[in-house]
Structure formats: C-alpha cells, structure tokens
Structure 1
Amino acid sequence: MVETLKPVQSLKGRDFLSNLDLSPEEYRAVLDTAHAMKRGEFKGQRPLEGQTLAMIFEKPSLRTRTTFEVAMNQLGGHAVNLTNAEIGLGTREPVRDIALNLERWVEGIMARVYLHSTLEELARYSSKPVINGLSDLLHPVQLMADYQTIEESFPDTRGLRVAYIGDGNNMANAHIQCAVLSGAKLTIATPRGYEPNAVILLDALQRGADITLTHDPLEAAQGAQVLYTDVWVSMGQEQEASQRRKIKDFAGFQVTPAMLDLIAPEGIFLHCLPAHYGEEVVEEATLHPKSRVFDQAENRLHAQKALLYHLLG
C-alpha cells in the first residue's frame, strides 16, 4: 500500500475550507491514506518533522483540538493552541494581521470559528494552508472522518442511501458537498424552516449529486444504510435554544432505537458529537449495536492525519 501513502502533489500548500476544495480523485487519495494510517502502515514515519500547525479556537473543542494536536505529534510535527482570548480574532487584531503574522512562523493554520468569512479572510492573507476546523457554514474535516467510518462498513459508497435527520446546519451542508464526492444518495429531513443552505444545495445538484429534501424523518430513515444526526442547537445559536428545546419544531426528529429499527439491517448510525441526550438523540441510540459513533470519533484522528499529510507533506 506504499503507493497510497505518497502525498498528492496538487494538494500541497492548498487551503481546505470545504470538501469541494478536493476533486473526487483527491478526496479518494485522502481517504485511502486515512484507511492506511489506521491500519498502521505509516507507523514510525515522521513526514512532518519540524513543521508547526497553528490551531485557532473561537469555539471550544474536545475532538478537533485533541485529534489535530495528536495528529501533528504522530506525524513528527508540533501544534500550537491559540484561544480567542489570546489572539482576539477581529477585535484585538484584524484577521488579516493575524494571518500575516502566523504565516511567518508556521506551516499551516487550522481554525475553528463562528463565521465562515473569518476562514476566508485568513486564507486570503495567509500564504500557508488554512484548514476549516468548523464554521457556521461547513464542517469538512468531520465529513472526512464520517466517510472513513462509512467506508469501513460500506466500501463502495456510490448509490449508498444516507439519511441526515435534524437541523439543516453546517453538518447538513457538508453532507451535501460530500454527496458530490462520494456518489452517495443523500436524503435530508428537517423541520420546515430549518432546511440547509440553498446555494450549497443548488451547487451540488448542478454537479450531479443525488439529494432529496423531506420534512418526514421516518420516511428518510426507512431503509437507509446510514442514519446521521447532529445537535439541534449549535454553538452560537443559544438564543434559539428555548424554542428548539420545547420540541415544537423538532417533534419526531429524535433518534431512538425505534428509529434505528427502520434503517436497513446492515445499516449504521452516526453522530458527530457532542450529543445532547434527550434532544436529537437518546443514549440508547449511541450505545446501540448499529451505532458507530465512537469509531467515528476515533477516525477524526486518522482522517485529519491524512489531510495534514497531503496538505503539508
């Protein structure tokens, strides 16, 4: 498998703000490398020796911070954690100035931010790769881990029935983009008024993606091979929490073992975590035999190692 571990030269030095920053061939190369790294085929090699990744966090994180930091360490590099209290994106200093400083010291920037426009500004002014660790619009690194997890159960994702149930948020938008790359048949079920980004959806449809929107979660779940959900209240949306938590808008969208009984016998359940038990999911669903939630969390490490290897290696 040595061939799959050669960096894709077209990716070196590129930004990764959305999944569609990758071509289908580049997407395939990153996932192949992630699978190989998980198998241990890269153990002992240090391709990012001497390189440093700056990690900017406007939003707190368990999985994103831990996996990027561990990934850099395992690849021989180093990560520097920068909280918003320390750098003050756009307040203490302009985003432009932060980018122009960091590019002098590090080989890459990973940022987990509120506004997608912040990432675009970082990328505009930094000559070094900028990676989207999460924004209000997209969460592309999560989707790479998600599809690594999906491929562990379904190696060929072309035509695979994937159902996303819940809020049409950044995760739904990222799923739409990955439907273009993976060839999966995606159904998104949201309450009325919570649909995903219309521009992202139209772009994916124009690229040939097979995507269906519905307001019926049970219809979406029926026979699906992958069932996916995310929190109803994302960070930054807390002012809407009281409305959403009254279960008025999201009545019927909670993932339970009964809903998992509707998916295909070989189907799997995914949630990008953290889970708000009693809202979008119950504990019994994450601990269900069909759940791959914690495999999915583990794969954040392998998928991000692969991405860093190709962007920086």
Structure 2
Amino acid sequence: MVNKASFLKEIDFSKAELMELIDLSIQFKGLKEKRISHKYLEGLNIALIFEKASTRTRSAFTVAGQDLGMNVTYLGSGEIQLGKKESVEDTAKVLGSMFDGIEYRGFKQEDVETLSKYSGVPVWNGLTDTWHPTQMIADFMTLKEHFGTLEGLSIAYIGDGRNNMANSLLVTSAILGVNVTIISPKTLQPEQEIIDLAHAHNTGAILTITDDVNAVAGVDMIYTDVWVSMGEEVDFKERIDLLLPYQINSDLLAKTGNDQVIVMHCLPAFHDLNTEIGRDIYEQYGLSELEITDEVFQKYSTTIFQEAENRMHSIKAIMYRSLKRL
C-alpha cells in the first residue's frame, strides 16, 4: 500500500492531489512575498540526505523547512553510512526514530522507497535516477502562473529522453491531462515501462514520443535538461554528437510557430563558458553551448529562474501536506 504521507513518485497521486499541491505552492509563495510568517510546523525536525550534490534542492528544502518553523539537518554522502556500513533499512529505522521527516536525493529509487517503508515518517524524493517528483510540482506551478491554467496546454521535452526529468514530465503530464511530446534520438527515448505507466495514468493528454524535432510545432513550452546526468558514465563526445541536433536554439523556436512559446530548464544549464565544466567542454570539443544556446537562455531567463525559485515554494507545500497529518 502506498504511503500517501511520503512523496516518492508522481504516479502515487491523482490529478486532483497534484493540483492541490500546485495550488498550495502558489499560496505559500504569496505568504513568502508578503513576508507573512507561516511557521505551521514549528518544533519538528527533518533530515536531508544527499548522495548527489545540489544547489536548488538543498537550498529549497532548507529554506522551506526553516520557513515552516522546522529544524533542518543536512546529511551529506560523506557523513553517513547509508548502504555502506549500514543498510538503508537500518538507517531508515534510526533516522525515523529521531526525525519527523526525511528528504533523500540520490541514485536508486529503491533506496527512497525503503526509507519510506521502514522509517515510519514521511519521506520526500529530492531526485533519483528514475524520478524527480518535487521538480514537477515546481514546473507545473510555473506553467500555471504563466498561462493561468494547465487546461489545453501542450509541452515538449527535447534532449535525453531516458533521464529522470523526461520520465517525470511524461508521466506527470499524463496525470494532469497536459499534452506532452518527448523528442529525442531513438536510442535515448523513454523505456517502455515508463511509457506504459504514462498511458495507464493518462487523464486525457495526447502523449507523443518521436525523434523528429519538427514535433515542437504548436507547443506552448519547450523543456530541456543537461545531456549527461550526474553519475552517468557515457562517451561524452558520442552523446554530444547525438544530441546536438536537439539543442534549443533560435531555429528550433521558429519551428514552434508560436511567438508566445516559453522555455524551461531545471538547471544547471550549459549555455556559456562561465563554469569550469563549460570551459573544459569547450577546450575538448569546441562547443560553448550544449543543450540550450545562451541567446535562448537569456531570453527566457526570467521564466527559468522563476521555475528555480518555485522549487522552494512547492517543496514547502509538499512537506506541509505530509506533516500536517501528524
């Protein structure tokens, strides 16, 4: 039986439940903007487990927890024995006896499910190799803020169609009834299991998987992500060559035929040479931009950074929904 107090993957929730979280996120954003105190969970303690480093997820959970009045403890990969000297199950029981909630950002979906099963407290999936559910609430919150509604929207994800972002966008769009197109090379398209889940939870969305970049025609939003996920071991040159035709640039935007289209990116983005990795890529491959050009990134930066900020408000809504039941 699914523990609805936890937030592990999108398919555990109905359209109404996800919409409730989106609307609650917008309400919390309003409180934050008006500087209205909302320490509704004062005195509770939460643990943040990070096997994978992050800027947005760590900051969002930390500030959201503190705004709600909670004490927040960060547990980095080098600070605990999760799965090394101590099993995930045993760690879950220990942390569950001390904390009121646990966030996990790491590799295996199995690990976050185990934490939820054995800890006895709500567990929130900050990202696994399979799903990125907290990002979805922020993303669809951003879409609702921009367009006023999710009804009738069509979105496209372009790039690596097998990563957690593509998985989550496909399935969450299906649940919410938002038309979605995943555009990627055939070798990088979603696994059949993910496609089947999307169809099984579809509430009326048109779901399209294709390798044709012209499929962006008519969409309201285009989404992309980095071409190599954290911890993934691939031939980087081969991946770049495969995905370069799927870069979001001015030519791709023109194919939408929609001058009101917006672009979103979960960040970080390789759009310039202002990072060590970006400069390394340029020195090795002569490319200063990867999944999105700097011109497009800057044009839509307001929306992209609005999306990043919304991680905090949406995570606040997720934690509040979980912990208010206690």
The TM-score with structure 1 as length reference comes to 0.91
- Show the counterpart of 1:158: 151
- Show the counterpart of 2:299: 288
4+ residue runs over 6 A deviation: none
The answer (yes or no) to whether the contact 1:270–1:291 under 8 Å persists in 2 is: no
- Show the counterpart of 1:111: 104
Q: 1:233 aligns with which of 221, 228, 232?
A: 228
Q: Does 1:304 align with 2:315?
A: yes
The answer (yes or no) to whether the contact 1:161–1:184 under 8 Å persists in 2 is: yes
Structure 1 residues 220 and 52, CA gap change in structure 2 (3 angstroms): farther
Task: Quote the Cα distance in structure 1 between the aligned partners of 2:306 and 2:169.
Answer: 18
Where do residues 217-256 of structure 1 align in structure 2 (5 Å cutoff)?
Answer: 217=213, 219-245=214-240, 247=241, 249-256=242-249
- Show the counterpart of 2:278: none
1:178 partner letter: T
1:69 partner letter: T
* CA distances 1:254-308 after superposition (whole Å, capped 9, x unpaired): 1113322333222110000001221111222111148611110010011111111
- Show the counterpart of 1:5: none
Q: 2:128 aligns with which of 135, 157, 162?
A: 135
- Show the counterpart of 1:170: 164
Percent same amino acid among aligned pairs? 37
2:227 partner letter: W
Q: Does 1:210 align with 2:206?
A: yes
* CA distances 1:19-55 after superposition (whole Å, capped 9, x unpaired): 1222222111111111111122782121110111110
In structure 2, stretches of 5+ residues that fail to align are: 272-288
What SS does the corresponding residue of 2:74 show, helix, strand or coil? strand
2:136 partner letter: L
What SS does the corresponding residue of 2:116 show, helix, strand or coil? helix
The TM-score with structure 2 as length reference comes to 0.88
Task: Quote the Cα distance in structure 2 between the aligned partners of 1:154 and 1:142.
Answer: 18
The answer (yes or no) to whether the contact 1:13–1:312 under 8 Å persists in 2 is: no
Q: 1:190 aligns with which of 161, 184, 208?
A: 184
Q: Does 1:84 align with 2:77?
A: yes
The answer (yes or no) to whether the contact 1:268–1:290 under 8 Å persists in 2 is: no
Q: Does 1:16 align with 2:11?
A: no
Q: 2:26 aligns with which of 28, 35, 40?
A: 35
2:37 partner letter: G
The answer (yes or no) to whether the contact 1:12–1:310 under 8 Å persists in 2 is: no
1:213 partner letter: I
Q: 2:65 aligns with which of 72, 79, 104?
A: 72
- Show the counterpart of 2:43: 50
Q: Cα offset for 1:200?
A: 1.9
Aligned residues: 300
Task: Quote the Cα distance in structure 2 between the aligned partners of 1:211 and 1:205.
Answer: 8
Q: Cα offset for 1:206?
A: 2.6
Q: Cα offset for 1:94?
A: 0.7
Task: Quote the Cα distance in structure 1 between the aligned partners of 2:301 and 2:251.
Answer: 12
What SS does the corresponding residue of 1:56 show, helix, strand or coil? strand
